[in-house]
Structure 1
Amino acid sequence: MDVITWRGRIDSRSSPSEHFDSETGASTIEFYNDSKDRYRTAPFGRIPLPWPFNHGMASEKGKEMGDIFHPTVNEILEKYNIVPSSISVTKMWKRGIMNTAKDTAVVSTEDKDTAMWLSAADDIHHAVLPWATEASLQFRVEICNEDLMYKDISTALLCGEDIRNVFTEIEPLVLARVKHLIPGIWRSVTFHGRQSCGLPHRDPISNKPTVMVLVSIGARSLWDFVENEIRRVIEDVVPPNMDVSLEILPSNFVI
């Protein structure tokens, strides 16, 4: 039996103070989940626009930014030995929340070595900022590997009666533990099939039976501890031949 969770490591040296308390170790749920996804990077340790997001055509100023700075971005990437598969400017926003839309310079790469991504993202932002300030353009910068970044979606739970029975047994136990651990900030405990949006819909091989705990937007806690405690509850019930995933997500997460 295995309870599968994405493991992350928070680096207090580059963690934005509004999302992470270096004295207590508490963080927002958004920051905790971002710390698990090493294949998306924004400048200065900021949180990239959280998944799920939508994207569309850049504004006229955004397109101009892309045209002007494409050579500069290429030079910066070459400096840090990052090989881009594409460089584009697109408007991105949280799914269903249009007032979060900003033109975003997106560097997509198939590279797996992310060691220099933060430095490159910082340099790109510094290069664009004076022009963008003069043009009154708010913008984002992101470097990502689209094949490896987190982009799971919910589908129907494709599983047998055995897993459904286990979930029925798990639900009151997980709910009780969640209420004890994070009173006032939890919103729901549900069960889903989860898979990457890049895979065929309802793919039976990639469809992961998942316990999903939804919490308030911006909720703060010692999320690594909370996740481990919930995982232990699930491990006590799930039989040895069954894998179950666990995710803790903000309640505005559109699934």
Structure 2
Amino acid sequence: MMIVLKRRFNPEQTSEEVFDSETGDCTIEYYNACKDPYRVAPGNKIPVTWPWIVKKASDAGNMIFDHLEESIRKILISHEITAHNIGTHNFASRNTPGKAKDTIFIRTHDESNKSWKMAASEIYDIIEPVAASSRIQMRVEICNEEKMYRDISHFIKDDATIDTISQIQPFVLDVVMEYCSGKWTSIAYHARGSPLYNSEKKATAIIFIKPGTRHAWADFEDKIASVIQSATFPGETTISVEVLPGRISPGHPSERPLDYRRLSTLPMVPSNGSSIAPALCTDAAGTLGPVVNYRAAGKEEVKRCFLTCYHVIAPGDPAGKERNDMNGIGINGRGVIAQIDVDYPAKYDSEETRRIKMARIEREEGTQLDVDIIERLDKIAAQGPIGRVKFASGYRLLANSRRMDWALVELDPTLPVQNLLPMEAQFSKEYLHGVPDYIVQEGDTVSGINTIVKDTWYGKVGRTSDCTGAEFNVIQRDIEWDNGLVSDEYEFRTLHSGEEFAKGGDSGSLVFNLEKEWVGMLFAADPSTECGFVTPVYELIKDIEETTGGTITLA
């Protein structure tokens, strides 16, 4: 028997635009806000969706809080709310980082929330005009941080639970595709629980929805619960269901440009993990991935190449993108129509670094290091592109429901690019906690190829998040992509809670195991669960060889 647990949806009295009481239609954010009685925002506003990105508030936001703190505390006292911490922070959901605002965040241990919304509204009423006069927008939130919903994901380890989930997976996918087509992004099966040490972890089916999407979510969640309950198993199994905002982020390969601060991070010869982008692209970047040898069918000559993701190089042919998305580049006997040169580092990163260094120099605040970094960028740029796209997959679905997203870039033969392994010191200690000794000498390279297996450590070097470690989930993630393709993908979760395994700009990263073997290539990330998605190496090589007619070996 299957027992299904859900959090109660308790819609507030509000306008029909926010929540249609007849149809149940509302945004996914409102739906989740009405499930959490321990967080409130003023009036018709809703709290920032968990999980958060928290940064330092602006000077203007801090000045407004300092000016109004006494009035804020008087309002809280008048509503008999005991605040144990009040502060100003810059808050955004990890799913919508571009919507960050300074927020006055009021933490309380109180459990009765009957006056929280009124207090939050009164505080907002005194803050909003002052913020507007300072030309910023501010939020107000009151929460009990110990009681509020802030579950995080872990991978399910119990074999019996994994077996049960593998049997219900196709039925859940069918219901999601039938009733939520075009609105969902992925379906995950994780052990969810509070970040507090030793908190209970519940096996949970999570359906992630595009942020901002409207639907009758309570009815949809009931359909998911019903299909799970209809499954018949010996004994009693409990599973929770969550319908949450969430996104998979390969679309825009990077969220912000890099500022190179050390010459050591900007070598004359790149390696796996370096910043790359098409020469024509100035607003995105990806990662230089595995260095490989490619031998064309019937040829003796071996070409040194590197792999990255197709979506990283796709902006290099904007006119042909639709065609390339569907048919790939140069594969299955098709010729390469448009030449795509690839730069290191990406102009997105080099131009931002130049801007920052030059501004410092012009303000007479520059150092010799600023001058050296600009000179290094000039020397690298004078070398020209590091390679040219030879083949690319486009977006295709294999028979096993894996989605291909790769590009093979032929390297400038004068560049001795290698699959360098990162030194232990490049990892935060949390990524190696409990891991057998990771011993690497400077100059060591990836030594072989192997399959992905459970209960072992994996590492990667990416352009954005640098060196991170992860574990593998034996339960694959169902993902619906923007073009309607639905795929099953291998997911890896960070070993450093609170830090993501991969971020935008890491696409193309070589993933390796503790034996220093290449096991796959990273192509996407989920910021809300700190997971990254990896194409297994043998599937990658098989597809390249079948579609190009050549052979691939690790360089």
TM-score scaled by length of structure 2: 0.43
Task: Output the amino acid matched with 1:74.
Answer: R
* Percentage identity across paired residues of the two chains: 34
Deviation at 1:150, TM superposition (A): 0.8
- 8 Å Cα contact 2:42/2:121 also seen in 1: yes
State the alpha-carbon separation in 2 of the partners of residues 58 and 112 from structure 1: 28
Deviation at 1:6, TM superposition (A): 0.8
State the alpha-carbon separation in 1 of the partners of residues 235 and 6 from structure 2: 17
Moved more, 126-135 or 39-48: 126-135
Say whether 1:119 aligns with 2:122: no
Deviation at 1:102, TM superposition (A): 1.2
Larger gyration radius, structure 1 or structure 2: 2
Q: Residue 178 of structure 1 aligns to a residue in which SS?
A: helix
1:112–1:27 Cα change, 3 Å? same
Hey, what does 1:254 align to over in structure 2?
528
In structure 2, the gaps of 5 or more residues are 248-526, 530-555
Say whether 1:236 aligns with 2:230: yes
Hey, what does 1:32 align to over in structure 2?
31
Hey, what does 1:10 align to over in structure 2?
11
Task: Output the amino acid matched with 1:42.
Answer: A
Q: Residue 43 of structure 2 aligns to a residue in which SS?
A: helix
State the alpha-carbon separation in 2 of the partners of residues 162 and 185 from structure 1: 31
State the alpha-carbon separation in 2 of the partners of residues 63 and 156 from structure 1: 39
- Deviations along 1:165-212, one digit per CA (max 9) or x if unpaired, are 110110011111122222222233221111112x22xx4x61211111
State the alpha-carbon separation in 1 of the partners of residues 224 and 29 from structure 2: 18
Hey, what does 2:217 align to over in structure 1?
223
Matches within 5 A, 1:135-214: 135-159=134-158, 161-197=159-195, 199-200=196-197, 203=198, 206-214=200-208
Say whether 1:106 aligns with 2:92: no
Matches within 5 A, 1:12-91: 13-15=13-15, 17=17, 19-91=18-90
**How many pairs are equivalent?**
248
State the alpha-carbon separation in 1 of the partners of residues 246 and 95 from structure 2: 13
1:239–1:111 Cα change, 3 Å? farther
- 8 Å Cα contact 1:89/1:104 also seen in 2: yes
State the alpha-carbon separation in 2 of the partners of residues 96 and 211 from structure 1: 19
Greater RCO (Cα-Cα under 8 Å, separation 6 or more): 1
- Deviations along 1:77-115, one digit per CA (max 9) or x if unpaired, are 111111111111111122275422211111110011111
State the alpha-carbon separation in 2 of the partners of residues 97 and 178 from structure 1: 23
Q: Residue 220 of structure 2 aligns to a residue in which SS?
A: helix
More helix by share: 1
Task: Output the amino acid matched with 2:61.
Answer: G
State the alpha-carbon separation in 2 of the partners of residues 98 and 193 from structure 1: 25
Write out the 4+ residue segments of structure 1 that deviate beyond 6 Å after TM superposition.
Answer: none
Moved more, 150-159 or 103-112: 150-159
Q: Residue 172 of structure 2 aligns to a residue in which SS?
A: helix
Task: Output the amino acid matched with 1:7.
Answer: R
- 8 Å Cα contact 2:95/2:245 also seen in 1: no
State the alpha-carbon separation in 2 of the partners of residues 26 and 68 from structure 1: 40
Deviation at 1:16, TM superposition (A): 7.2
- 8 Å Cα contact 2:61/2:131 also seen in 1: no
Deviation at 1:163, TM superposition (A): 0.8
Moved more, 106-115 or 56-65: 56-65
1:16–1:48 Cα change, 3 Å? farther
Q: Residue 43 of structure 1 aligns to a residue in which SS?
A: coil
Say whether 1:245 aligns with 2:519: no
State the alpha-carbon separation in 2 of the partners of residues 184 and 62 from structure 1: 38
State the alpha-carbon separation in 1 of the partners of residues 152 and 205 from structure 2: 13
- Deviations along 1:128-178, one digit per CA (max 9) or x if unpaired, are 12222222221100000100111111112132x211111011001111112
State the alpha-carbon separation in 2 of the partners of residues 15 and 49 from structure 1: 20
Q: Residue 131 of structure 1 aligns to a residue in which SS?
A: helix
Task: Output the amino acid matched with 1:158.
Answer: K
- 8 Å Cα contact 1:171/1:189 also seen in 2: no
Q: Residue 91 of structure 2 aligns to a residue in which SS?
A: strand
State the alpha-carbon separation in 2 of the partners of residues 211 and 227 from structure 1: 11
- 8 Å Cα contact 1:3/1:246 also seen in 2: yes
State the alpha-carbon separation in 1 of the partners of residues 176 and 138 from structure 2: 38
State the alpha-carbon separation in 2 of the partners of residues 101 and 215 from structure 1: 20
State the alpha-carbon separation in 2 of the partners of residues 82 and 2 from structure 1: 37
Question: CA RMSD for the aligned pairs?
Answer: 1.8
Deviation at 1:60, TM superposition (A): 1.0
- 8 Å Cα contact 2:105/2:141 also seen in 1: yes
Task: Output the amino acid matched with 1:35.
Answer: C
